[in-house]
Amino acid sequence: MKKVLISIFICLPVFSFCQEKNIYDTAAEKICDYMNKHSDKKITSQAEAEAFFSEAFMDACMPFIDRLLEKEGLKSFDEQSGRKIGEKISLKLSGTCPKFMEVMRPLVKQSLKDDNDSETGSLNGTVTEITQDGYTFLKLKLADGSQKRVVWLLSFDDAENINNDPKKLVGKKWEIQWKSVQLFYPKSHSFGTEKMITGLKQK
């Protein structure tokens, strides 16, 4: 299940089924309802996130698993078919269920930390604006007048110096280290590459 969920956030292509209204919409709604009803459950680790998703899936989807199997042309429910179905439901959830995104956050963090193949770099400039659009974005004006966008996705060591408050960066010059990541945009049901902040130093 870990590979299924990580792929939703990191490397899945955009499936055309996102626009369909079918049994997957029902399954996603049921799982989201289950997660919201158990919102008091503390999810702080990758193992807990995986276990909670599996628990929600079994409770919400097993009553109509035959319809899900039929939708995929599958005959039996096993690890392989469960992965295929879970993958599609998860993509539905990532665009419609804020609680799902919250629950899966530990997996996102761990998968990004484990990814050593991403492009990295640094930018020098003045932070001019902070925007919220599903994620926290910082607009950076460089010395040549061009503007770049970086995303504040995970906490990092240097962030403690500003109490993890990106608003304190505005109007000041910074050297920002970044790592390239693939993010899912729930509003457009699409993926895109962003520069995730991994470190910063005031100039």
DSSP label of 61: H
pLDDT tens-place string over residues 42-57: 888 878 888 898 899 9
87, amino acid identity = E
Token pair of 145 as six digits? 């007048």
The predicted pLDDT at position 124 comes to 95
The predicted pLDDT at position 38 comes to 93
Average pLDDT, the chain: 79
The predicted pLDDT at position 9 comes to 45
* 108 has pLDDT over 90: no
pLDDT tens-place string over residues 6-17: 444 433 333 333
Judge contact between 160 and 171, C-beta under 8 A.
Answer: no
Please state the domain extents for the chain: 2-113, 117-202
Under DSSP, is residue 164 helix (H, G, I), strand (E, B) or coil?
A: coil
The predicted pLDDT at position 10 comes to 39
Judge contact between 176 and 122, C-beta under 8 A.
Answer: yes
Measured distance CA(97)–CA(95) in Å, rounded: 6
pLDDT tens-place string over residues 111-158: 666 656 678 899 999 999 998 876 789 999 999 999 999 988 776 777
Q: What is the mean pLDDT of residues 194-200?
A: 88
Which residues 6+ apart lie within 8 Å of 135 measured at CB?
Answer: 151, 152, 153, 183, 194
Instruction: Give the CATH number of domain 117-202.
Output: 2.40.50.140
* 75 has pLDDT over 90: no
Which residues 6+ apart lie within 8 Å of 111 measured at CB?
Answer: 6, 9, 10
Measured distance CA(4)–CA(8) in Å, rounded: 7
